[in-house]
Amino acid sequence: MRIAGIDCGTNSIRLLIAEPAGGRLRDVHREMRIVRLGEGVDATGQFAPEALMRTRAALTDYADLLVAHGVSRVRMVATSATRDAANRDVFFAMTAQVLGRAVAGAVAEVITGQQEAQLSFDGAVGELDSADGPFVVVDLGGGSTEVVLGDPDAGVSASYSANVGCVRLTERCLHSDPPTDAEVAAAREVARELLGEALKVVPVQQARTWVGVAGTMTTLAALALRLPEYDSAAIHLSRIGFEDLVAGCDQLIGMSRVQRAALGPMHPGRVDVIGGGAIVVQELARVLAERAGIAELVVSEHDILDGIVLSIA
């Protein structure tokens, strides 16, 4: 039996086709496209027609893959940008039309921040040693950042979806290329304020291990590991000390887009927004060092997408 999950976020849309076995997944096909569905949503509260067209094109290709691989069940979830967009009905009509021709009755659903946090946690910790828990899992997306505390055996104990992500923070604060010192300072203040709401709810001081997922985290790991190109196998479950992590963030924040684009592991769709993500990572590293004594980041390639598929396995 083959099942699939589709994660439609603010910046990217991703597909995982897998075969479940004994509570785990065997990957059949995994793919990511940058479509920037949430472009401008923070300012306008609406999906732009161009963003919907880009998303439809990617989803059409994904539907073809579902048919080609004989997928019997699919779950598609939409997150931060879709929660915020007033015209999300247009998005749902489009996804129902495109997905429905691949798997009868398939539709997209918008999930809450709490649901997003749970799915991210389930996907991220499956291969980790429970003795290293409790874990704080951080899913840093384009529009939101989920902070989740839990243990693989006991489950999630606290979570919060902060309304800050690499796309949202960049669009709000980082307008110059490269960003000015004043813009970076303003972005740090916004990140600190919005993450502060999460840190009031999630007692991160109880965590023993920090696990980071999603594109900003995996790209930072690739750069810290000095990989000549993006290598998911090398990145998965890598451990990055805070000294290297913070230095890498500083470098990215200060770079121009041309300089970032020249980095081997950098996906073109992250070039303009990863500086915003790096600011969020630095703020989290500071807090986790101070409150929990954590000194490294564990980066997982498995995340909400894996959690989505596991939820229907």
In a domain, 311, yes or no: no
Instruction: Examine the domain organization and report whether 100 and 202 are in the same domain.
Output: no
Q: Which two tokens stand for residue 248?
A: 């890498």
Instruction: Examine the domain organization and report whether 181 and 292 are in the same domain.
Output: yes
Name the residue among 275, 222, 227, 268 with its Cα closest to residue 249: 275
Instruction: Examine the domain organization and report whether 282 and 196 are in the same domain.
Output: yes
Q: What is the pLDDT of residues 27-50, one digit of tens each?
A: 999 999 999 998 888 889 999 999
User: What is the identity of the amino acid at 123?
Assistant: G
What was the pLDDT predicted at 307? 92
In a domain, 122, yes or no: no
What was the pLDDT predicted at 75? 96
What was the pLDDT predicted at 208? 96
Q: What is the pLDDT of residues 168-215, one digit of tens each?
A: 999 999 999 999 999 999 999 999 999 999 999 999 999 999 999 999
Q: What is the pLDDT of residues 282-292, one digit of tens each?
A: 999 999 999 99
What was the pLDDT predicted at 158? 96
Instruction: Examine the domain organization and report whether 198 and 84 are in the same domain.
Output: no
Q: What is the mean pLDDT of the chain?
A: 93
User: What is the identity of the amino acid at 208?
Assistant: R
In a domain, 288, yes or no: yes
Instruction: Examine the domain organization and report whether 7 and 101 are in the same domain.
Output: yes
Instruction: Examine the domain organization and report whether 290 and 141 are in the same domain.
Output: yes
Answer yes or no: is pLDDT of 130 > 80. yes
Task: Give the C-alpha separation, 88 to 77, whole Å.
Answer: 13
Query: What dihedral do alpha carbons 203, 195, 280, 244 form, nearest 10°?
Result: -30
Instruction: Examine the domain organization and report whether 155 and 237 are in the same domain.
Output: yes
Name the residue among 309, 112, 116, 128 with its Cα closest to residue 210: 128
Band the pLDDT of 81: cuts 50, 70, 90: confident
What was the pLDDT predicted at 143? 87
Task: Give the C-alpha separation, 169 to 186, whole Å.
Answer: 10
Bigger pLDDT: 81 vs 290: 290
Q: pTM for the complete prediction?
A: 0.87
SS3 state of residue 11: coil
CATH number (domain holding residue 90): 3.30.420.40
Q: What is the pLDDT of residues 90-110, one digit of tens each?
A: 999 999 999 999 998 888 899
In a domain, 135, yes or no: yes
Instruction: Examine the domain organization and report whether 183 and 104 are in the same domain.
Output: no
Instruction: Examine the domain organization and report whether 106 and 179 are in the same domain.
Output: no
Q: Which residues contact 26 (CB under 8 A, 6 or more apart)?
A: 18, 19, 20
In a domain, 310, yes or no: no
Instruction: Examine the domain organization and report whether 225 and 104 are in the same domain.
Output: no
What was the pLDDT predicted at 105? 86
Instruction: Examine the domain organization and report whether 132 and 268 are in the same domain.
Output: yes
What was the pLDDT predicted at 112? 86
Instruction: Examine the domain organization and report whether 143 and 253 are in the same domain.
Output: yes
In a domain, 115, yes or no: no
Q: What is the pLDDT of residues 238-263, one digit of tens each?
A: 999 999 999 999 999 999 999 999 99
Task: Decide which of 78, 110, 142 is a domain's last residue.
Answer: 110
What's the chain's length in residues?
A: 313
What was the pLDDT predicted at 145? 93
E strand or H helix at 174, and its extent? none
What was the pLDDT predicted at 153? 84
- The range of the structural domain enclosing residue 191 comes to 128-304
CATH number (domain holding residue 299): 3.30.420.150
In a domain, 200, yes or no: yes
Number of domains in the chain: 2
In a domain, 309, yes or no: no
